[in-house]
A and B are shown apart, each in its own frame.
Chain A
Amino acid sequence: MDPSEVEFLAEKEFVTVVPNFALDKIYLIGGDIGPLTPGLPVQVPLWMAVNLKQGQKCRIVPPEWMDIDRLQDKKQEETDSKFFTKMPCDHYIEVTQLLLKSATDDIPHADEIRTLVKDIWDLRIAKLRSSIDTFVKSDATHAKLNFLTLMELNTVRPFLTKALDQMHVLRSNNNGRIQSTQE
């Protein structure tokens, strides 16, 4: 998948906004939204939140997890754990990026938040690479990794699947199922 496709899926996540205009309930393919009342917080999909914000039609309320203390705790938890921890949002990095780009003024300590989220990402990716290395070196035929997010998976998918294909051929050589070239 392309990262922009992963982002497309992430844009379905709901965030809270405070609109400055009124809108009756609307019925979309993905579900119902609204109604919007000026000054009242309401949950809308991320794509709509960004769109409204760009049109200056709302203020964005950062998600609960997008907070310096919470993220610092999360980072510590991720560092201490051998395995992957459950992230507060399955699309944490996409949501962070989209909100910080379009609504920096609505998010306190935006720069620190950005750094913390990136740090957590780097930690998890490094763990992922170690897991892959261990898996490849073992004789196991499958591995289970919990709590990985789609964007993380997506960055290793092309490499990992090709590497495993290659390993499969080399392993089959050892099991006596040698491939023969066609002529």
Chain B
Amino acid sequence: MLAEKALDLLRELQRTLDGSLPPYNEDGIRQILEEMKALFEQNQKDVSATVAGENGLFSGVQLRHSALERNKRCLLAYLYNRLEQIKKMRWEFGSVLPPEVKFNMCEQEVQWFSKYNKMLANYMRSIGGEGGLDLTQDLKPPKTLYIEVRCLMDHGEFETQDGNILLLKKNSQHFMLRSECEHLIRQGILEHIVH
């Protein structure tokens, strides 16, 4: 059936979209574009033949045209949904994506992410007065100014706002400003200890 490959591409994407980004299926896309090329060329032939006087070719042209539109829709949906996922990742992982995720992105997607990053940073800088406002923080109303955290993995040295250096070694516990460590908790590097 026509446009089957395009559908497989989308099904594969839908299956793996919850945790991360699947690798950019360059191969799959190439195959779909080849199918589209073949359909288009066949239609070109039929149109010329009709102009030359042959009859009854319209139904075939119409069918191939619908397959072309379908392939186009699937490809665009594939690209669009991947971008939406990448956008979400900015808010979950922060401004630097883990290398495995980056590995799965194509060159243009990497560029898109960096532009989105810049745009978001500019916007956040422009609101909230002098220091700007970090929208990616405090996604829930904060309860306390300082919180107790435990390190889940080695993360090296961390310099706090007032100049102290903390050694974030696995299993070490620290008392930190919530605003400073919130993103590390989201990334799974620190664990929030609640009593």
Contact = CB atoms under 8 A, between A and B. Distances in A.
A and B together in one complex? yes
Nearest to B73: A183
A2 interface: yes
B140 interface: yes
A183 B141 contact: no
Interface in B62-98: 66, 69-70, 73
Interface of A: 2, 4-5, 7-8, 182-183
Given A4-B140, A182-B73, A183-B73, 4 more contacts: A4-B141, A5-B140, A7-B141, A8-B141
A182 B74 CA distance: 12
Contacts of A5: 140-141
A4 B73 CA distance: 40
B69 A183 contact: yes
11 contacts: A2-B140, A4-B140, A4-B141, A5-B141, A7-B141, A8-B141, A182-B73, A183-B66, A183-B69, A183-B70, A183-B73
B128 to A, nearest CB: 15
Contacts of B70: 183
Nearest first, the 4 A-B pairs at minimum CB distance are: A8-B141, A183-B69, A4-B140, A4-B141
Nearest to A51: B144
B144 to A, nearest CB: 9
A7 B73 CA distance: 44
Nearest to B69: A183
Interface string B140-151: 110000000000
A4 B70 CA distance: 44
A5 B140 CA distance: 7
Contacts of B66: 183
Contacts of A2: 140
Nearest to B141: A8
A183 B63 CA distance: 13
Nearest to A3: B140
B70 to A, nearest CB: 6
Contacts of A8: 141
Contacts of B73: 182-183
A4 B179 CA distance: 18
B107 to A, nearest CB: 29
A5 B66 CA distance: 48
A4 B142 CA distance: 9
Contacts of A183: 66, 69-70, 73
Contacts of B141: 4-5, 7-8
